């Protein structure tokens, strides 16, 4: 039995995996020692894995959970995916034991750290469902009621496109989609679009006029700072509080929130995890699976084989398509 520098035991078998050797490096398709299931663990034969911004941030060490998920290198990136259990059941799994990750032919997880994937669902399509479940936070965290208006801040990404559809399916009255690209924004079927590259004054005005009840925010940074500033009323009228769910930060990790803005607008800000527990998660998952199976929730995938990981990891041309590695 061989032991590698980070203590991985190799019982002689190697399998292919995407292996990361340097923080902020690019994973390479190569052999990696086969995982061995310890007590309370189970092996997974991986079928499909979505590569998302969060996976790159974990690999780069810039995500808050990055060190825990990938304490040492070499290691295999990505912390969830779709695969089969030893008895052949197809499941969505999470949190492989480091240095193993999801981007491999085989990985190892804690017994029970998986959920069944319903019959008939394509494993690659199933990798996208967690992003749709996150969009359900407009109801779970912010309590969206049918007829209320929703603004999707950052609607042209995969998660944003799903959020526009989820808002419609949850009965939102009016949907506003924001983003940087007019052509992509027009594809979304929203009732109103706002281009976040407008100059500050025009963007403030556009947000102020959008009259929104709930915001699902994938951007943070400058656009969301302006959105919150736009909620300050110009009279002593009673505010109609905006409920904002914070989900992503592609436009910036921080923003300036003035006391006046918070005090006068009545804005409420929640994290996407608010209200999530086994019961609400199960209900959101069931709903999203049903919408996907019946074709009410649609999304575009870019499928690549594991052997192409080095090129695929560096792609920036996906324009709203989820990169899914098929194993
Ligand atoms: N917490 C969760 O469970 C969860 C789940 C899903 C997603 N997220 C987060 O949500 C965010 C979006 O995820 P995704 O998977 O949809 O990503 P994605 O498909 O890669 O899309 C990224 C989006 O961000 C936009 N964007 C990038 N930089 C921007 C900037 N500086 N200003 C304005 N827009 C910018 C892009 O717009 P262009 O088209 O103009 O380039 C694109 O619409 C990420 O932060 C992700 O980590 C969180």
pLDDT digits (tens, 9 = 90+) for 16-25: 999 999 998 9
pLDDT band for 1, please (50, 70, 90 cuts).
very low
Q: Minimum mean pLDDT among 65-69, 96-100, 138-142, 145-149: which range?
A: 65-69
CATH number, span 131-271: 3.90.180.10
Q: Does the Cβ of 79 fall within 6 Å of ligand 1?
A: no
- Within 8 A by CB and 6+ apart from 286, the residues are none
Ligand 1 centroid, distance to 261 Cα (angstroms):
25
The angle formed by the CA atoms of residues 254, 260 and 264, to the nearest 5 degrees, is 115
Tell me what pLDDT residue 65 has. 86
pLDDT digits (tens, 9 = 90+) for 149-178: 999 999 999 999 999 999 999 999 999 999
In the chain, where the domains are located: 2-128+299-326, 131-271
Q: Does the Cβ of 137 fall within 6 Å of ligand 1?
A: no
Instruction: Please give the Cα distance from 273 to 228 (Å, whole number).
Output: 21
Architecture of domain 2-128+299-326: Alpha-Beta Complex (3.90)
- Within 8 A by CB and 6+ apart from 201, the residues are none
Tell me what pLDDT residue 233 has. 80
- Within 8 A by CB and 6+ apart from 3, the residues are 9, 10
Q: Does the Cβ of 251 fall within 6 Å of ligand 1?
A: yes
Tell me what pLDDT residue 10 has. 47
Ligand 1 centroid, distance to 273 Cα (angstroms):
17
- Angle between the N-to-C axes of helices 278-293 and 158-169, in degrees from 0 to 180, rounded to the nearest 10: 90
Q: Does the Cβ of 204 fall within 6 Å of ligand 1?
A: no
pLDDT reading at 4 higher than 50:
no
**What is the mean predicted confidence (pLDDT) over 296-318?**
97
Query: 80-84 and 90-94 as β-strands: parallel, antiparallel, unpaired?
Result: antiparallel
pLDDT digits (tens, 9 = 90+) for 198-234: 999 999 999 999 989 999 999 999 999 999 999 888 7
227, 153 contact by CB (below 8 A): yes
Question: Pick from 50, 62, 138, 145: which is nearest to 92 by CA?
Answer: 50
CATH topology identical between 2-128+299-326 and 131-271: yes
pLDDT reading at 5 higher than 60:
no
């Amino acid at each position: 039995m061989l032991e590698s520098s980070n203590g991985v035991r190799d019982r002689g078998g190697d399998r292919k995996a995407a292996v990361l050797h340097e923080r902020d490096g690019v994973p390479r398709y190569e052999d990696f020692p086969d995982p061995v299931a310890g007590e309370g663990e189970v092996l997974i034969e991986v079928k499909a894995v979505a590569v998302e911004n969060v996976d790159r941030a974990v690999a780069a060490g810039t995500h808050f959970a990055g060190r825990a998920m990938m304490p040492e290198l070499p290691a295999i990136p990505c912390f969830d995916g779709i695969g089969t259990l030893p008895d052949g059941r197809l499941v969505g799994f999470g949190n492989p034991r480091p240095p193993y990750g999801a981007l491999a032919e085989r990985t190892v997880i804690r017994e029970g750290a998986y959920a069944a994937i319903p019959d008939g669902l394509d494993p690659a399509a199933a990798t996208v469902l967690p992003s749709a479940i996150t969009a359900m936070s407009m109801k779970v965290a912010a309590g969206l009621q049918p007829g209320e208006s929703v603004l999707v801040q950052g609607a042209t990404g995969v998660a944003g496109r799903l959020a526009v559809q989820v808002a419609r399916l949850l009965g939102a009255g009016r949907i506003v989609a924001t983003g940087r690209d007019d052509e992509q924004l027009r594809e979304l079927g929203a009732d109103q679009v706002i281009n976040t590259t407008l100059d500050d004054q025009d963007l403030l005005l556009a947000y102020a006029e959008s009259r929104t009840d709930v915001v699902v925010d994938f951007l943070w940074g400058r656009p969301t700072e302006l959105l919150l500033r736009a909620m300050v009323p110009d009279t002593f009228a009673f505010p109609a509080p905006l409920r904002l769910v914070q989900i992503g930060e592609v436009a910036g990790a921080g923003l300036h929130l003035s006391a006046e803005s918070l005090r006068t607008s009545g804005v409420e800000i929640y994290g996407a995890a608010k209200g999530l527990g086994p019961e609400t998660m199960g209900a959101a998952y069931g709903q999203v699976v049903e919408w996907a199976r019946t074709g009410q929730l649609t999304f575009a995938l870019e499928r690549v084989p594991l052997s192409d990981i080095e090129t695929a990891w560096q792609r920036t041309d996906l324009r709203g398509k989820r990169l899914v590695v098929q194993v």
